[in-house]
Amino acid sequence: MGRLEGKTALVTGAGSGIGRAITLRFAREGARVVAADVTGAQEEVAAEAGGVVHPYSCDVADEESVRGLIEFCRQRFGRLEVLANNAGISGGRARIHEMPMAEFDRVMAVNVRGSYVVLRHALPLLLLAEGGASVVNTASIGGFRATPESSPYIVSKGAQIMMTRVAALEYVKDGIRVNAVCPGTTKTAILDGSPPELLEMLSGRIPMGRLGTPEEIANLALFLASDEASYITGQCWIADGGRSAG
C-alpha cells in the first residue's frame, strides 16, 4: 500500500522541477493526481506516470482558470484529500528602487495571489474529504533568509509562510492540515545552462556541498501530505542542506 493509496491530489506547477517530482512521487504512492501547469509540460508528466495523472492547463494568476481547474477536480473525483500548492516563479534581479513595479506585480500575481486563489477555491473540496485532508504549500528558505536584489520573490515567499500558518489555524478543527516545504537552492531547469562557476558558487555556500534535488523536496512533500504527519500542521519545513543552520 502506498502512503497516498486511494487519495486524490492536486499539484500546481506540475510540469517541471519540484512540481513534476511531487506529481510523480504522489502517483507512485497510490494517489490519483491532477497535474496543473500553464506550460503544457504537464501532458508529458502524465504520459510518464502512465494513466494515474490527469493533466490540466491552468494559470494560477487567472482566477477563472483556477475555477475551471477546481471544477475539473470536482467533476472527475468529487473531492480532494491533498493539495500541493506549488506553482511559482522566481522574478527578476535588481535593488528595490530599481525593480520595475510590473515585475513585482507579476511575481505577486503568481506566488501570493495565485497560491491564495488556488487554496481558497480548493478548500470546499478538501472539506469534503473523509478522514481529513492535507495542504502542502511550496514556500522557500527565502521566506526566512533575505537575498539582496530578489525582493519580489523574497517578499512573496514570506507571505506564503504566513498564509500557511493562518490557514492551518483556521482549518485545524475541520481536519485539514496545512504545512509548507521551504527548499533551499534546488537543481531545477532554471539553472540549466548556468556557467560552472555559478553552480560551484551556489554549492559552495551549502554545508552539504551540493544543491538539493527536486526529488528530495518531493519526498518531504509526500511525508507532509501523508498520514505519517498526522500531528503536524502550521509548520514550514526547511530543506536547504544546512545553509540556514549557521
Annotated catalytic sites, by residue? Answer: 153
**Within 13 Å of residue 193, how many CA atoms lie on the same side as its CB?**
2
User: Hey, which residues does 94 pair with through a beta bridge?
Assistant: 150
CB contact at 8 A, 223 and 179? no
Closest to 134 measured CA to CA, from 12, 224, 21: 224
Q: Are 159 and 109 in contact (CB under 8 A)?
A: no
The one-letter amino acid code at 116 reads Y
Q: In this structure, are residues 212 and 218 in contact, taking their beta carbons and an 8 Å threshold?
A: no
Query: Could you tell me if 184 and 238 are in contact, meaning their C-beta atoms sit under 8 angstroms apart?
Result: yes
